[in-house]
Amino acid sequence: MFTRLLVGLDESPQADAALEQAVILGRRFRSTILVACVAAREAGEGSGEAEQLAARGAFRVEAGGLKGESLVRHGAPDATLAELAGDVDATLIGRHGSATRPGAGVLGKVAASVVRLARRPVIVCGPVPTPMRSCAVAWDGRNTRALQLAGRFASVVGSTVHVIHANADRAAGVAILGGAEAALSLLGVSFVSHVEAGEPADVVARVVREARADALFAGAHVPRSRLGAPRLASHAEEILTQTVIPVVIQP
């Protein structure tokens, strides 16, 4: 399911962590990993450094026993990565890059924009790679594609899926979770349901910690603005700022 991966690489530690996460994930699926570096808009500017960085990234992939390809493009990093994402199964990026001041709960502009623009799964990685063997999914009753992706992934890694739903009305929450439970049952995946009161991002972050999940799946639910520009749903962005594990965003 993830046989072709894309990693956006710059000189930040977060991007390096995303590359390591891609190698971990790639070993499981025997993936080909494309290492992409986006240089400045002006043709030629920064090309040498970008080519060296991409080549080093591809070498790291190959040292991990996988097929690596280096790719250099010019342009805006977010739009360029989103375009390249159309030709792979998933794109891995750090929560912020070299242009963002590091800090707790920081989601960089490029990362947020790639998630808004991409039409295929984006894995927003944490500062430390994880095995991605214990799955959780944020469920609001609508993100069916994210749930299906989590179920398929869990069936490969042999994980129980922790289905997380925030609802002050427990009875209503249990009813909403019924759809997720039915879908996972059809996939033959074991699951544990969690209904808790609170803001969705807070509930998801708390349950992820308590369940010791190391991979989270969530739907983007990307509405359109009046100008037609896609926008990331606020709860998804909040989840990204409150967690440190890889978050798989399914458009």
Map out the domains of the chain with their CATH numbers: 4-125 (3.40.50.620), 135-219+231-245 (3.40.50.620)
pLDDT of residue 80: 94
Kindly state the helix (H) or strand (E) to which residue 29 belongs, with its residue range: helix 13-29
Average pLDDT over every residue of 82-111 = 79
Return mean pLDDT, the chain: 89
* Least reliable range by pLDDT among 36-45, 95-104, 145-154, 219-228: 219-228
Q: Is the pLDDT of residue 87 over 60?
A: yes
Q: Which two tokens stand for residue 116?
A: 């808004």
pLDDT of residue 224: 42
Q: How confident is the model at residue 228 (pLDDT cuts 50, 70, 90)?
A: very low
- Percent of the chain topping pLDDT 70: 88
CB atoms within 10 A of CB 15: 25
pLDDT of residue 251: 87
Tokens 């944490």 found at? 126
pLDDT of residue 116: 87
CA nearest to 243, candidates 98, 140, 82, 128 = 128
Q: Where are the beta strands (DSSP E) in 140-246?
A: 161-166, 191-196, 215-219
Average pLDDT over every residue of 207-231 = 73
Region of 30 (left: φ > 0; alpha: ψ -120 to 50; beta: rest) is left
Average pLDDT over every residue of 52-79 = 94
Average pLDDT over every residue of 149-169 = 96
Q: Is the pLDDT of residue 225 over 70?
A: no
C-beta of residue 180 within 8 angstroms of C-beta of residue 215: no
C-beta of residue 135 within 8 angstroms of C-beta of residue 150: yes
Q: Which amino acid is at 44?
A: G
